[in-house]
Amino acid sequence: MKLNIKVLVLAVTLGGMVAALTPDFADGARGGARGGGGATRSGPASSGSVNRHSNNRRDRKDNRHDNRREVRHDVRKERHEFREDRVRRHRARHLTYAAFRSLSCRTTVVIVNGISYYGCGGSYYERVYQGGSVVYVIVVPPPGYY
């Protein structure tokens, strides 16, 4: 009985710790939307359009998604699908250029198949265009650098 109570205490305590830590992880995942100085630099008004709420525009988007799906499939083959999959799995973790430069590690650059991989603290990053900015996303290390 004493053992069961100990297990319960341990489980509840760990549960409380995990619950307390979870919001921090969530904030970390959103870090890529922030620029220098920690400020959020994009929002609804950055679009500069009166048409954001138009149903017509959303309909056009849906139609275009359908039309482009086939084109994407062909291009995907040309663009090393294996790499896309790796990036997609890690797309939630990305850093702005300023944030990447401020990392306290010695950056190494590895070029594999024409792609530059930036090694930092055991992780590898790739530069991509996202939302009008160039950001660094964590990817699986390139072949030979696992």
Partner 1 sequence: MKDTFMKDSYALCGAWSLCVLLAGCGAETSSNAQPDAAAEQTGAIEQTDTPAETDTPLEMDAAVIDDGVVALLKQMTSKVAGLQEFAVTLETGFDVLQPNGQKLEFGSRRTATIRRPDHARFTYQQRSGVAGELVFDGSAIWAYERDQNVYATIEQPGDIDASVDLVTIELGIPVPASDFFAKDPSIALAADVLEAQDLGTSTIDNQPARHIALRKPGVDYQIWISDATLLPVRVVITYHDEPGQPQFWARFLNWETAPTNGDAVFAFSPPEGAESIRFATFDTSESAEEAVP
Of residues 114 and 122, the one with the C-beta less far from partner 1: 114
Contact status, residue 57 vs residue 51, Cβ threshold 8 Å: yes
Q: How far is the CB of 3 from partner 1 (least distance, A)?
A: 11
Of residues 2 and 106, the one with the C-beta less far from partner 1: 2
Q: How far apart are CA 135 and CA 98, in angstroms?
A: 9
**SS3 state at 98:** helix
Site residues, partner 1 (CB under 8 A): 2, 5-6, 8-9, 12-13, 15-16, 19-20, 22-23, 30, 33, 35-36, 39-54, 56-57, 60-61, 64-65, 68, 71-72, 75-76, 79, 84, 87-88, 91, 94, 97, 114, 116, 126-135, 137
Q: How far apart are CA 29 and CA 94, in angstroms?
A: 8
Of residues 50 and 122, the one with the C-beta less far from partner 1: 50
Can you give the three-state secondary structure of 4-50, one letter per residue?
A: HHHHHHHHHHHHHHHHHHHHHHHHHHCHHHECHHHCECCCHHHHCCC
Q: How far is the CB of 44 from partner 1 (least distance, A)?
A: 4
